[in-house]
Amino acid sequence: MISKSKNASLSTILPVDSFKELTAPASNAAKRLLDCIFEREIDGELVRVRIVETEAYDQTDAASHSYKGRSQRTDIMFGPAGYLYVYFTYGMHYCANVVVGEAGYGAAVLIRAVEPLGNEGLLERRRGGKSGIELTNGPAKLCQALGINKQLNGHNLREAPLRLVLAPQLSSEAIVTTRRVGISQAKDVLWRFYVKDNSFVSVK
DNA sequence: AGCGGGATTTTCT
DNA sequence: GAAAATCCCGCTT
């Protein structure tokens, strides 16, 4: 039971929701998420990975699932920041996004690549024997490696079995900005970001 | 090293 | 009915 102190201010008692830093536009949050950590519990084991490549998608952007408004599929994108949006694509693959921005604004950041921080044996098994950068250097690859599927759509990233832990903002000199991958609308928008010189980045 | 096709389901027109 | 925020394999240079 937490008792209320007479003297302590409210801000020292209540935990700060760090996900409020994931503000719109989605491009802002996409840069903010570089270098941040996912902690995934799977098969009773813990795997930590570092985000090294992201893409921004928001409702002002023709390439975004949220562009044409809320639907059954995109509903989670219009919720508050800090939840997972998982979609299925090309008949085979899942892709993972972090919902960003205020509730009511449809925005999310696609996680395109992560760098494993230990326990790579588990990832290798889930990836059918692949190893090294092939474990997680693509949006569907990292979902397979981390066991992310539609069951985790709408998951709160403050909770097990998949937590997002924010790291300090990466310096702008360490971030490369480019066009997004695999889209046909809004091709020239520079909303893809990755950690400079990181070998896990999917497309250089 | 680069190109082409197949896998296979959700979503919207 | 077609396209899709992809990946992998096999064939050709």
Q: What is the nearest nucleotide to A71, using C1' and CA?
A: B11
CA of A73 to C1' of B11 (A): 8
Q: Is the Cβ atom of A168 within 7 Å of strand C at any atom?
A: no
Q: CA A128, CA A199: separation in Å to the nearest integer?
A: 21
Give bridge partners of residue A58 from the DSSP assignment.
A107
Q: Is the Cβ atom of A157 within 7 Å of strand C at any atom?
A: no
Q: CA A34, CA A81: separation in Å to the nearest integer?
A: 16
**How confident is the model over A131-141, as pLDDT tens digits?**
999 999 999 99
Computed over every residue of chain A, the mean pLDDT equals 93
**How confident is the model over A75-89, as pLDDT tens digits?**
999 999 999 999 999
The answer, yes or no, to whether residue A107 has pLDDT greater than 70, is yes
**How confident is the model over A33-63, as pLDDT tens digits?**
999 999 999 989 999 999 999 999 999 999 9
Q: What is the nearest nucleotide to A89, using C1' and CA?
A: C4
Predicted local distance difference test score (pLDDT) of residue A1: 45
CA of A90 to C1' of C3 (A): 9
Q: Is the Cβ atom of A183 within 7 Å of strand C at any atom?
A: yes
The answer, yes or no, to whether residue A6 has pLDDT greater than 90, is no
Q: Which of A's residues 90-109 have CB atoms within 7 A of nucleic strand C?
A: 90-93, 95, 97, 108
**How confident is the model over A139-159, as pLDDT tens digits?**
999 999 999 999 999 999 999
**Structure-derived torsion over alpha carbons of residues A81, A83, A89, A91, reported in degrees to the nearest 10:** -170
Predicted local distance difference test score (pLDDT) of residue A174: 98
Q: CA A133, CA A116: separation in Å to the nearest integer?
A: 9
Q: What is the nearest nucleotide to A92, using C1' and CA?
A: B8
Q: What is the nearest nucleotide to A63, using C1' and CA?
A: C5
CA of A68 to C1' of B13 (A): 13
What are the Cα distances from residue A129, in Å, to A45, A125, A156?
A: 18, 6, 30
CA of A163 to C1' of C5 (A): 22
DSSP string covering A164-195, please?
EE--PPPPGGGEEEE--SS-SSSTT---EEEE
CA of A5 to C1' of B1 (A): 67
Residue A150 parent element (H or E): none
b/e map A34-51, b = 16+ CB within 10 Å: bbbebbbebeeeebbbbb
